[in-house]
Amino acid sequence: MVIQHRYKSPSGKVQQAQQLENLYAKCPLFRARNPSILSSRQRLPPRWKPANCRKYTLPSANVKCRACADSRFSSTSPSKHSHKPNNEENFLSERTMLQIHGGKRLEGEVKVSGAKNAALAIQAGCLLCEQPMVLHNVPDLVDVANMGEVLQSVGASVERDGHDSNSLVLNCSELTSSSPSLESVVKLRASFLVIGPLLARNGETSVPLPGGCAIGARPVNLHIRGLEALGAKVEVKDGVVHATVGPEGTLRGSRVYLEYPSVGATETVIMAAVVAEGETVIENVAQEPEIVDLANFLVSVGARIRGAGTKVITIQGVRSLHGGEYTVIPDRVEAGTLLVSAAITYSNLWLSSIVPAHLTSIVTKLEETGCQIKFKDDNRLELIPPPELLSTDIRTLPYPGFPTDMQAQFMALLTVAKGPSVVQETVFEGRMAHALELQQMGARLSVAESTAFLEGIQEDHGGLQGASVAGSDLRGTAALVLAGLAAEGITKVQGLQHLDRGYDKLDQKLRSIGASVERISMDNAKD
Ligand code: EPZ
């Protein structure tokens, strides 16, 4: 079927419809991006250029887009050249890697971005708001964009604010569906967080099971049990969780005990209970700062919540929530990762936009390695490295214990500390993959289940060597980037589709303090 339409591409060159047909036939990404190109001939394809397809090699770049390393865009930030992060971004992150020249001292100050894990829960919470909402300090992440798509799939509108790219404008006043689309949900585990607000708002919802990921099975039994305690009828069928509010037509406040202080399950029960009938008391809840931020957001739009940040949360149900503006907290895990980048390279570093209280366990462990951390006024700190990093032991625990999301980064740090260390992961059963990659870089360690035994730097050996390594999850990839900063020679880190999910321009931030980190296309990389 040959189409006689002619298309005007952004570069002004006239495109042959046939060319687009070929692309449509051959390139799954082009299809994903332009699903309707064969159905509505009127719609002009936005700014897709053949060169973005796997078949085409990327040109040698002077100014590179951080996602696609493409040089034809004037600005490095995807959102600034209206590059909408989605599958395409994942694909392109998969096609790029970081090349790191190690051994460089870092210097300067970095502003920490908004917290991914707070922003995702708050985005889900916006589904309860019957008026428009503006969220500030929202990081520019693939996960945040994907959560936006989940909300759009039930009829919400989600836009980046044209004036402030770190703000999101959301309008969930007119939802058109009570169940998110499968396409949007499968891209993001945290999408399961919409089950509480959609059930409470619509009285019923069906949300696909998020399934496991590289770090563990990650069941959602505690989420389901929490909703059942509020009177919901829940059935899991063919990989989908179907929930309805039961005969009274609304959820009912009640006592909920969580067997484990799960972050996600706590968030689900809070979001379901804020518009339930009566009072809910949730015990053994998670106390993470992201939980407190979600509760503060919900209170700012009319909810009645007490005790967030403690072991027991009490909620008085209200009829509905309004809209407003809210600013997301800074990302304590990004702050921790940047602090380790300074410690592992023996560099002085300043961080701004931090909340000291959120960093207590991380700072304590850094001090045990010999670092000094000086807090300057209420949202800045300075790290001063020791003459020699000392070993220490790490055991991950729910907050306020040491965060599992910092385990990998500290493992990288302790591979270059003097003396042996033990790193024990207790929150997720499969979060040790980075240990094998660190071994590739010369780290002397062994792993037994979820515990790693590190030899650290010894008299007769020590230090990391540059190598080609690949991350298989978000924090594991970040740990390999940090190891590359300390390693001798060149390290090539693959797995940026994981990194870009949770770090807002990490490579740019590291470059801004003197690191030699370059995002290169795998198609152009010469081994
Ligand atoms: C949140 O995941 C974070 N993700 C994770 O960050 C973080 O590692 C984790 O909390 C712990 O702090 C987001 O907020 C989007 P959990 P979540 O429920 O909610 C088990 C990152 O790197 N469990 O507290 O999934 C579960 O299997 C990510 O940014 C059940 O058994 O964590 C795990 O072993 C990774 N049944 C443990 O509890 C349930 O119903 C902790 O999970 C729920 C959880």
Q: What's residue 454's pLDDT?
A: 97
Once rounded to an integer, what is the mean pLDDT over residues 73-83?
A: 43
Q: Does position 453 have pLDDT exceeding 80, yes or no?
A: yes
Please write the tens of the pLDDT for every residue from 162-214: 888 899 999 999 999 999 999 999 889 999 999 999 999 999 999 999 866 78
Q: How far is the CA of 264 from the centre of ligand 1 (A)?
A: 6
Q: 199 CA distance to ligand 1 centroid (A)?
A: 21
DSSP character string of 381-408? EEEE--SSPBP--EEB-STTSB-GGGHH
pLDDT digits (tens, 9 = 90+) for 279-313: 999 999 999 999 999 999 999 999 999 999 999 99
Q: What pLDDT score was predicted for residue 275?
A: 97
Residue 255 sits at the vertex; the CA angle it makes with 249 and 256, to the nearest 5 degrees, is 95
Which is the closest atom of ligand 1 to the Cα of 263? Answer: 24
427 touches ligand 1 (CB under 6 Å): yes
Residue-level pLDDT at 162: 80
Give the C-alpha distances (Å, rounded to integers) separating 68 from 24, 126, 457, 521. Answer: 20, 31, 37, 8
DSSP letters for 129-197: BSS-EEEES----HHHHHHHHHHHTTT-EEEE-SS-TT-EEEE-SS---SS--HHHHTT-GGGGGGHHH
Q: What integer pLDDT is reported at residue 249 of this predicted model?
A: 86
Can you name the residues that pair with 470 across neighbouring β-strands? 494
Beta bridge partners of 14: 8
**Helix (H) or strand (E) segment spanning residue 208:** strand 204-208
Q: Residue 459: its pLDDT value, please?
A: 67
Residue 88 CA: distances (Å) to CA of 93, 145, 271: 8, 12, 31
The answer to whether 217 touches 427, Cβ cutoff 8 Å, is: no
- The percentage of the chain sitting over the pLDDT mark of 70, rounded to a whole number, equals 81
Question: Counting atoms of ligand 1 from 1, which one is nearest the CA of 262?
Answer: 24
135: closest CA among 153, 148, 149?
148
What are the structure tokens assigned to 307, written together? 């005790």
CB 308 within 8 A of CB 295: yes
What are the tens digits of pLDDT across the range 305-356? Answer: 999 999 999 999 999 999 999 999 999 999 999 999 999 999 999 999 999 9
pLDDT confidence of residue 505: 96
Q: What is the pLDDT of residues 86-106, one digit of tens each?
A: 445 555 577 899 999 999 999
pLDDT band at 357 (very low <50, low <70, confident <90, very high): very high
Is the beta carbon of 54 within 6 A of some atom in ligand 1? no
Q: For the segment 367-409, what is each residue's pLDDT rounded down to a tens digit?
A: 999 999 999 977 999 999 999 999 999 999 999 999 999 999 9
Q: Pick the residue whose CA is nearest to atom 22 on ligand 1.
A: 405
Q: Quick check: CB of 120 below 6 Å from ligand 1?
A: yes
Let me know if 213 is a catalytic residue: yes
Give the DSSP letter string of 317-383: --S-B--EEEEPPB-HHHHHHHHHHHHHTT--EEEES--GGGGHHHHHHHHHTT-EEEEETTTEEEE
- Cα-to-centroid distance, 526 and ligand 1 (Å): 38
**pTM across the whole model:** 0.85
pLDDT for 219-235, tens place per residue? 999 999 999 999 999 99
Catalytic residue among 126, 129, 213, 371: 213
